[in-house]
């Protein structure tokens, strides 16, 4: 299935160029893949990826992705 992945801030450096990548942000992932599984496949360190949003809704790593989903992966946000 095809989803869009948008890694934010320092996480962009972990987005590999791979055979699964279809264009700048679209990726082919297995049917029924979870966010945690996508992180493993893309080698994005879980210690940095802390906030996940699918189609604008905050979810956890166990969320099963569906065709056409837009996944945002964000690091911990710190500010003052």
Residue 32 located in a structural domain: yes
The band of 10, judged by pLDDT with boundaries at 50, 70 and 90, is confident
The predicted pLDDT at position 22 comes to 45
Q: Which domain holds residue 60?
A: 2-75
CA-based nearest residue to 55, from 71, 41, 40: 71
Residue 80 located in a structural domain: no
**pTM: predicted TM-score of the whole model, two decimal places:** 0.83
User: What's the domain count of the chain?
Assistant: 1
Question: Which 3 state secondary structure label does DSSP give 35?
Answer: helix
List pLDDT tens digits, range 47-75: 889 999 999 999 999 999 999 999 999 99
The predicted pLDDT at position 36 comes to 95
Residue 10 located in a structural domain: yes
CATH at residue 68 = 3.10.20.30
């Amino acid at each position: 299935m095809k989803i869009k992945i948008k890694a934010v801030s320092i996480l962009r450096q972990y987005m590999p160029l791979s055979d699964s990548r279809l264009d700048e942000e679209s990726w082919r992932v297995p049917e029924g893949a979870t966010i945690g599984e996508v992180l493993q496949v893309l080698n994005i360190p879980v210690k940095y990826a802390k906030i996940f949003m699918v189609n604008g809704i905050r979810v956890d790593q166990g969320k099963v992705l569906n065709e056409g989903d837009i996944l945002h992966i964000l690091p911990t946000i710190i500010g003052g």
